[in-house]
Structure formats: structure tokens, C-alpha cells
Amino acid sequence: MNLGIIGCGAIGTDVAKAADAMKEIKKIYLYDINKKASKALCKTIKKGEIQNVTDFLNDVDVVFEGASQQAVMEYAEQILKEDKDLILMSVGSLFDDHFRKKLEKIAREKHCKIYVPSGAVCGIDGILSAGVGGLNEVTLVTTKPPVSFGKSFDERTVLFEGNARDAVKKFPANINVAASLSLAGKGFDDTKVEIVADPVATRISHKILAHGAFGRLRVELENMPNPNNPGSSYMASLSAIATLRRIIDPIQIGA
């Protein structure tokens, strides 16, 4: 299997290095709008080669996107039309209902897949399963140190309460977590989001609360920063690598 990677930042670097160690992956094609980033990454792996996205599409089986929403807008349709599977990290791009439905339509017609890793949260598999029986309510509570918002608070302060779609407009940095949860569960308009600044917090935490016919679910994760980029959660990279591993492995675990 050959892999294409769009975006050679912290997550793209983690994925490329993990893929370089997978015997099932023969070639890794790298692209980043910042040529220095792709060149630097290429020097650290054995299977790497730098090419533009349009040039490597004929030679890959799966494309990993770890760049930006703009990159998704620019390349996703073309990738799917070339019958290639897509691992998509910039999940916030799917808040655009028209764009998401267009990608779904192309993927169905071309019999390919759009994989959305769970990213910086846990419990997405539980939400997927619970949704089969019916979900009454799904809430995401994100807590960050005040410095993450560029502000100062003396006590725990709720900055936002509302649905996922509105949360994105006010707090775009929370977009991917909210999008993944919304897609797995009740959708963007019915997924509740609470964003909190807490001076006691030292890490970014995401808590998922849900109840329905299945019972009740409560999952909380305190994220360690990515060693290559303190602004990114390490779990996001691990989730991306696990998704790639899932595509390769014959045994599928999870919902």
C-alpha cells in the first residue's frame, strides 16, 4: 500500500514516521504548502518522496490530510474522484452541510471511504453504538487553562453554552473535537457544547456526557501536548495512526 500525506506539521510527521515503520506501506508521498516542512520530514524517513498532490494521486491507495480546512476544500473532492480513501483530520470542514453531502455523494459513487479519526477525545465508538438504539442527549465539556483563550480568570468561568454549530463560530479552536462528536451522534445542531476556562487546569480536557436507551456514558480525557507542537494534543496523532493501522489490519475493533 502507498500513502499520500498532505500536511507535514506535528500530526503529519507523527503519521509519516509511524507509516515508515509499517511493513505494509511501501511508499510515502509528502506534500506541504511549506516546502521546508516536507523536505525536513522527508529526510527523517526511509520511504518518503516529495510530490504535489495531483502528481501522487495515481500512485497512492490512501491519502492522509493533516493540514487545514482549506486543504480539505482544495483536495478532498479530487482525491475521492480518483477512487482514493481519505483520512481527514480537519473535521471542522464538514460543518458545511453542502460540502459534506457532496463528499458523501462522491464517496458512495466511487466506493471509497472518508475516515474521521476520533482525534483528541475518547468515547466516540460508544456514541456510535449508542446512536443505534437512540440518543437523548450528547454534551461535550471542554476545559482549558485561561491562557489557552488569551485571557485571565480568577475562578472557573463558563465561556460558552450552546450547540456545536454555534460553538464553532465563537471558538474555532474547538472545532475538530465538536465536529467528530457531532458526526458520531446527534448532529451539529443537537450536540451541546460547554467551554470552560479554569485557572486550576494545567491541561486541556474534553468530557463527553451522553444518555439514551443504552444507559449513560461519561468519558473524560486530559490531553498531553504533542512533543513536536505544544498546541496540539498527542492523542490526535495517536488516533490518526490508529486509523491508518485499522485500514491495514484484517481484524477491525470498535463500533
DSSP-derived pairing of the beta strands 157-163 and 191-197? antiparallel
Whether residues 75 and 162 fall in one domain: no
| Amino acid identity for residue 163 in this structure | N
- CB atoms under 10 Å from CB of 213, counted, come to 11
Helix axes 234-248, 10-20, angle to 10 degrees: 40
φ, ψ of residue 185 in degrees (nearest 5): -115, -105
Cell numbers standing for residue 171: 471558538
CA distance 169 to 36: 32
φ, ψ of residue 5 in degrees (nearest 5): -125, 125
CB 195 within 8 A of CB 168: no
Whether residues 156 and 90 fall in one domain: no
Whether residues 99 and 19 fall in one domain: yes
Task: Tell me which residue range forms the domain holding 41.
Answer: 2-115+234-248
pTM of the predicted model, to two decimals?
A: 0.94
The average pLDDT across 180-206 equals 95
φ, ψ of residue 85 in degrees (nearest 5): -70, 155
* 132 has a pLDDT exceeding 80: yes
Whether residues 74 and 151 fall in one domain: no
Q: What percent of the chain is modeled with pLDDT above 70?
A: 100
Q: Residue 171 has what pLDDT?
A: 87
Catalytic residue among 98, 111, 206, 211: 206
98 is catalytic: no
The average pLDDT across 114-143 equals 96
Residue owning grid cell 471509497: 112
* 174 has a pLDDT exceeding 90: no
Whether residues 138 and 36 fall in one domain: no
Q: What percent of the chain is modeled with pLDDT above 90?
A: 89
Question: Would residue 254 count as lying in a domain?
Answer: no
**Alpha-helical runs (H) found in the chain:** 10-20, 35-42, 53-56, 69-81, 97-110, 124-133, 164-170, 175-184, 234-248
